[in-house]
């Protein structure tokens, strides 16, 4: 078993104290927490800790806040922010938080859709991994160790500096942290060839509830299974991932083919549903639905279906594949651009042709706004009448700045068993939808109005999506589908309301692992895995 920092003897002593101390006995919780934290880390940790009296507290808190819906003055703020550089500082934070009755929130890139990586209704501490983001790329063994504070863009960049023909399967948004993305599954343009990010994780480092530093061998296969798609924050504090690098050709082809309602988009989208999951595994043909100004009916809106994707190869091989399976799209050579894989990651993040590869190192989003998101898993094509009803909703005033990002599954995703990792959405899935509604206006009244409209859209889609349960993707977190109790424990039955939607039949095993590794349910939040007792 690998350990680092705090000694196992000290861990045992402090952990035992949890049963004999009552947090309410302390007059000033956060001061006592800090005294505990500094006790063995005074020199190394004091400059990495921010309290509300620190002049940098607000800037550190706000830097990785990716949804302005959680930036209001009445949003609960952490008593302390810890920005660790080494495992021992995380170990101390975990132990001292328990000792002094504080919850922990774990932030990698700050993209949790419901703000759960930096908001809690109970007194809490944030472990912000903004400084914990080293990456080691091993080309010879086709693997990389990446600390959880690194972004997807930083990982892409580090790989590209070492090789042009190896890649990693991860997402298109390059400012997302690998800590959260990989622990929930993680997918992108290589999904149909190589599966999820989590499918390619081969080792990990985690600090458990007892403050122990564990690798895959030390944590055991049950816990290693759970953190790859089950949301790691329920089980401990993940520090780093070891992920496989996968081969890609020197030339890939990106393509974009926008089609509006006036250009037969309804029939094209309907046909796409039966085609995209069955295409060659080297091809991902995705879809983005949004409203745009009509070029035919001036002053009116229309729905645009943007067919876009990546092919692992040249355009001369791509066009015949699409022509054979989806001739109605009319994909042409001028819709396509050949480039390297790393250039394709820039294009997906909206920076291709404008900036150098170093833009991947930017941790800040170009635009930050307020948003509400939801997700659905689709197993049967939506009829044209259902799509036409969706278009009518998209024309409503409250639908302004709505996007539907639709991503096909199939390929490698259909070959991996549902129980291989906690992410269950495999064989039989045609595609996944992410609904996201954005707004710039401030205020809770505006936010509630837009959220209510999103719920209206979600209700409309119910007849057309997966059933018993209506499935969802954990990385598109949605508290509307169910939450745990804020105070005290939550029963397995209550948590199953939301748990089966994310994890289907894997939820019971997740709860079993939780019971084994965190029996007192310290690592808890609105949608944390419950114990079985």
114: number of Cβ within 10 Å: 20
47: number of Cβ within 10 Å: 9
What's the burial of 321, exposed, middle or buried (CB within 10 Å: 0-12/13-18/19+)?
Answer: middle
Strands 431-439 and 370-378: antiparallel
Closest CA to 288 of 302, 274, 307: 307
Query: Which DSSP category does 177 fall into?
Result: B
Helix, strand, coil abundance in the chain, percent, nearest 5 = 40, 20, 40
Main-chain dihedrals φ then ψ at residue 454, nearest 5 degrees = -60, -40
Tokens 């990002």 belong to residue: 405
CA distance 133 to 151: 8
Tokens 């197993």 belong to residue: 379
Instruction: Provide DSSP, 251-283.
Output: -EEEEEEEEEGGGTHHHHHHHHHHHGGGS-TTE
CA distance 184 to 118: 17
CA distance 510 to 234: 10
The residues pairing with 207 across neighbouring beta strands, listed in sequence order, are 213, 237
Q: Which residues are catalytic?
A: 476
Instruction: Provide DSSP, 352-412.
Output: TTTS-GGGGG--S-S---EEEEEEEEESSPPPHHHHHHHHHHHTSGGGTTEEEEEEE--TH
């Amino acid at each position: 078993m690998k350990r680092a920092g705090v000694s196992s003897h000290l861990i045992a002593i402090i952990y035992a104290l949890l049963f004999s101390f009552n947090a309410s006995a302390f007059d000033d919780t956060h001061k006592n927490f800090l005294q505990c934290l500094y006790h063995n880390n005074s020199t190394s940790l004091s400059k990495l800790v921010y309290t509300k009296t620190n002049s940098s507290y607000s800037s550190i808190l706000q830097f990785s806040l990716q949804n302005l819906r959680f930036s209001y003055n009445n949003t609960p703020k952490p008593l302390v922010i810890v920005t660790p550089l080494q495992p021992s500082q995380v170990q101390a934070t975990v132990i001292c938080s328990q000792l002094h009755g504080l919850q922990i929130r774990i932030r990698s890139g700050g993209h949790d859709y419901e703000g759960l990586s930096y908001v809690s209704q109970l007194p809490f501490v944030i472990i912000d991994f903004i400084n914990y983001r080293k990456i080691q790329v091993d080309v010879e063994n086709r693997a990389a160790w990446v600390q959880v504070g690194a972004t997807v863009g930083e990982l892409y960049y580090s790989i590209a500096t070492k090789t042009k023909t190896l890649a990693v399967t991860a997402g298109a948004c390059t400012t997302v942290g690998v800590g959260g993305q990989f622990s929930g599954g993680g997918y992108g343009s290589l999904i149909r060839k190589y599966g999820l990010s989590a499918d390619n994780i081969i080792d990990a480092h985690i600090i458990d509830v007892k403050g122990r530093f564990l690798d895959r061998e030390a944590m055991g296969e049950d816990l290693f299974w759970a953190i790859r798609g089950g949301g790691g924050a329920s089980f401990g504090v993940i520090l780093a991932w070891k992920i496989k690098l996968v081969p890609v050709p020197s030339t890939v082809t990106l393509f974009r083919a926008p089609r509006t309602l006036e250009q037969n988009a309804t029939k094209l989208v309907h046909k796409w549903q039966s085609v995209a999951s069955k295409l060659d595994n080297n091809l991902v043909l995705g879809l983005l639905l949004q409203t745009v100004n009509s070029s035919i009916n001036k002053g009116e809106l229309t729905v645009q279906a943007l067919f876009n994707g990546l092919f692992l190869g040249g355009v001369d091989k791509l066009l015949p594949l699409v022509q054979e399976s989806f001739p109605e799209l009319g994909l042409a050579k001028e819709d396509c651009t050949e480039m390297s894989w790393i250039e394709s990651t820039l294009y997906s993040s909206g920076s291709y042709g404008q900036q150098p590869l170093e833009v991947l190192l930017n941790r800040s989003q170009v635009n930050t706004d307020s948003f509400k998101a939801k997700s659905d898993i689709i197993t049967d094509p939506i009829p044209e009448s259902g799509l036409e009803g969706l278009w009518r909703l998209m024309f409503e005033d409250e639908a302004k700045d709505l996007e539907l990002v639709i991503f096909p599954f199939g390929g490698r995703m259909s070959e991996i068993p549902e129980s291989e990792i906690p992410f269950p959405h495999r064989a039989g899935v045609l595609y996944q939808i992410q609904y996201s509604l954005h707004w710039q206006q401030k205020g809770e009244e505006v936010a509630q109005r837009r959220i209510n409209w999103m719920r209206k859209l979600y209700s409309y889609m119910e007849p057309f999506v997966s059933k018993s349960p209506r499935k969802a993707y954990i990385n598109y977190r949605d508290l509307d589908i169910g939450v745990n109790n804020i105070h005290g424990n939550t029963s397995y039955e209550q948590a199953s309301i939301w748990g089966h939607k994310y994890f289907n039949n894997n939820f019971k095993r997740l709860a079993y692992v939780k019971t084994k590794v965190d029996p007192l349910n310290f690592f808890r939040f609105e949608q944390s895995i419950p114990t079985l007792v």
